Amino acid sequence: MFSKILVANRGEIACRVMKTARRMGIKTVAVYSDADRDALHVEMADEAVHIGPAAAAESYLVADKIIAACKETGAEAVHPGYGFLSERSSFPEALAKEGIVWIGPNPRAIEAMGDKIESKKFANDAKVSTVPGYLGVIESPEQAVQIAKDIGYPVMIKASAGGGGKGMRIAWNADEVMDGYARSKSEAASSFGDDRVFVEKFIENPRHIEIQVLGDKHGNAIYLGERECSIQRRNQKVIEEAPSPLLDEETRRKMGEQAVALAKAVDYDSAGTVEFVAGQDKSFFFLEMNTRLQVEHPVTELITGVDLVEQMIRVAAGEELTISQDDVKLNGWSVESRIYAEDPYRNFLPSIGRLVRYQPPEEIDAEELTIRNDTGVVEGSEISMFYDPMIAKLITHAPTREQAIDGMSAALDAFYVDGIQHNVPFLTALMNHPRWRSGELATSFIADEYPDGFLPAVPDEAAYSVLAAVALSMGALERERLDHLPGRLRPHSGAIREDWVIKLDKAYVPIRIAAGYPGTPVELDVAIGDGPVVNVESEWSPGDVLWSGKVGNQDVTVQVRPVTGGYRLDWQGYSVTANVLTPRVAELDQLMPEKVPPDTSKMLLCPMPGLVVSIAVEEGQEVKAGEQLAVVEAMKMENVLKAERDCVVSAIKAAPGDSLAVDAVIMEFS
């Protein structure tokens, strides 16, 4: 077994690998760029080596710098994590020449399976069912249009060396093929240094199901069940679960055996994933093989009890698998939510900045519920524009799917992040979505259910009641404390006001304290509107960011952020501003004029912090609705900004190469 390994990655996956290495008694070496000098993975490692500037192309993607770091520290092996150099066959070949062990599959397997075009040819030769498509390299947009016409719309344009949703576009007509071809090639070149793309049939209403395989250097290979990754946005996975609610034992066995056959055909000798696109009728087609550890591997670990990182290290050290196919038993259900630095209320545009507050839920390892948080940040960490916007992966495990989802919903309520925008409200809303809970999934789920983007959910009567009760318990306690501050001219008389009105955004909810006295812990009996009296209990104190307690028989965890005169409350995907008012003040408040936001309808604003790639129009030009105006790149993704209506460009305020802040004016219209 190795005594020291280098982790050629950053963020949560670097930290994840280091945890297992530490448990195995193996020392670790971190590598870091200028942007990651103070990162968590650097702190966790036994040693750390600086490898260059912030841009990945000048640091994490430079194999020679990784090899030099191994020589400097005496690291015997390299674990690549995912992304960066994890699927470049040239990297393990270069390591081998220096006598350094690669913790991953052999280069032949990477070459055969890591390239999407070659892997499909290989799968065809191995008699594996594949999606219809053109497997050659496409040389021009005109050729792409002709191929799409031959295959039949819709089609998917994909980067051959792609991953993570980058370099992928769905096209429903010739115009979209032309545009998608250009965007896919550009994204592929900037993200992977390889601009080859191919076209295949897009299966409508599909599900994304993948099989985890594990092989060793002695010819053994097994599969460890499946993961369903159908909840995606822009081809990037958002929520994963294991097992899949679609599959039965027979289909699982067929997919697993096909995945193992493919792995054995290339002498696969590490952890890897065979991805399938599945129809609602349980038909399935080979999509691609990821020759690395997957982002979503924790859900498989929790239902099988197998540490995949440990297995990768042991296999790389030459050990034989100690697990046979008969040993693999699926236990319970696991769900993973990816916490991203993106604004769900602005079409999920990237958000960068410092984590002013970062308080994840407490990790639990119990039979009835496991909560695991794989992260690479701490409070004070900076989310950079140079890398993937993932903050953390929150994973739950429970005996049933419903319990795992309920556990995830509660854990997300307790996941407190400030300083940047993030997708926790969206994930929380998803956990409570009836279609998600029913298991009726498809890769189009988010587009189907949120066609106009994600908007803050409007609380129903039950939610208003819970939020009003929480707000009153906090407001009454704070007023009680203020009334007893030393030096007050008119001390509290001892009586407490019974009647209140809670303003929740624009709704006014009457509430009455029927019994109890505000204090810590809080214990009040309250009547909301004409409803029954319910008990409210909590240990909350002013300044706490989470209100955790009970409203009636319901366990409730609400995120609390102070605002002028009240609080912003976030719970179950709802986000409301709450003000605790006396009935008379509430009457007067309803007479106040409403502040109207400024009109920006005649401007194109930069939707996220990013780099202007191109401006497609000129001053004085007439444009039609849907025409391209500009392209802005942020976090490796190119975002095409289009005209929402017919207009004339009156002024252009930005140029290609400019770095813009969010809401910076790009152009104006008349």
- CA 147 to mean position of chain CA atoms: 33
pLDDT at 561 over 90: yes
Q: Which segments of 115-200 does DSSP mark as H helices, in order?
A: 116-125, 141-151, 174-192
Mean pLDDT of all residues in 62-78: 97
pLDDT at 486 over 80: no
Q: Is residue 309 within 8 Å of residue 79, measured between CB atoms?
A: yes
**Phi/psi zone of residue 235: left (φ > 0), alpha (ψ -120 to 50 degrees), beta?**
left
282/248 Cα distance (integer angstroms) = 9
pTM exceeding the 0.95 threshold for the entire prediction? no
257/265 Cα distance (integer angstroms) = 12
Alpha-carbon radius of gyration of the chain: 27
- Residue 595 is classified by DSSP as P
Domains with residue ranges and CATH for the chain: 4-103 (3.40.50.20), 132-201 (3.30.1490.20), 338-432 (3.30.470.20), 461-589 (3.30.700.30), 603-669 (2.40.50.100)
Mean pLDDT of all residues in 54-69: 96
227/231 Cα distance (integer angstroms) = 12
602/69 Cα distance (integer angstroms) = 53
Which pLDDT value is given to residue 303? 98
Do the strands 610-615 and 659-660 form a parallel or antiparallel pair, or are they unpaired?
A: antiparallel
Say whether the peptide bond before residue 154 is cis (omega within 30 degrees of 0).
yes
Known catalytic membership, residue 288: yes
591/494 Cα distance (integer angstroms) = 32
| Positive or negative torsion for Cα 543, 547, 549, 551 | positive
Beta partners for residue 334, in sequence order: 242, 397
Q: Is residue 119 within 8 Å of residue 136, measured between CB atoms?
A: no
Question: Which of 124 and 187 is assigned the larger pLDDT?
Answer: 187
Which pLDDT value is given to residue 499? 94
- Residue 375 is classified by DSSP as E
User: For residues 249, 254, 259 and 263, what is the CA-based torsion angle, rounded to 10 degrees?
Assistant: 110
Which pLDDT value is given to residue 530? 86
Say whether the peptide bond before residue 656 is cis (omega within 30 degrees of 0).
no
15/23 Cα distance (integer angstroms) = 13
Q: How much of the chain exceeds pLDDT 90, in percent? A: 73
pLDDT at 637 over 90: no
- CA 264 to mean position of chain CA atoms: 32
Q: What string of DSSP letters covers 12-52?
A: HHHHHHHHHHHHTT-EEEEEE-GGGTT-HHHHHSSEEEE--
Q: Helix axis angle, 297-304 relative to 308-316, nearest 10°? A: 90
Mean pLDDT of all residues in 466-480: 93
Q: How much of the chain exceeds pLDDT 70, in percent? A: 98
Give the largest CA-CA distance in the chain. Answer: 88
Among the options 187, 288, 296, 301, which is catalytic? Answer: 288
pLDDT at 423 over 80: yes
31/408 Cα distance (integer angstroms) = 33
Encoding tokens for residue 470?
């929480």
Q: 3-state class of 358 per DSSP?
A: strand
Q: Is residue 351 within 8 Å of residue 422, measured between CB atoms?
A: yes
670/666 Cα distance (integer angstroms) = 14
pLDDT at 492 over 90: no
Which pLDDT value is given to residue 491? 61
Residue 522 burial (10 A CB sphere; 0-12, 13-18, 19+): buried
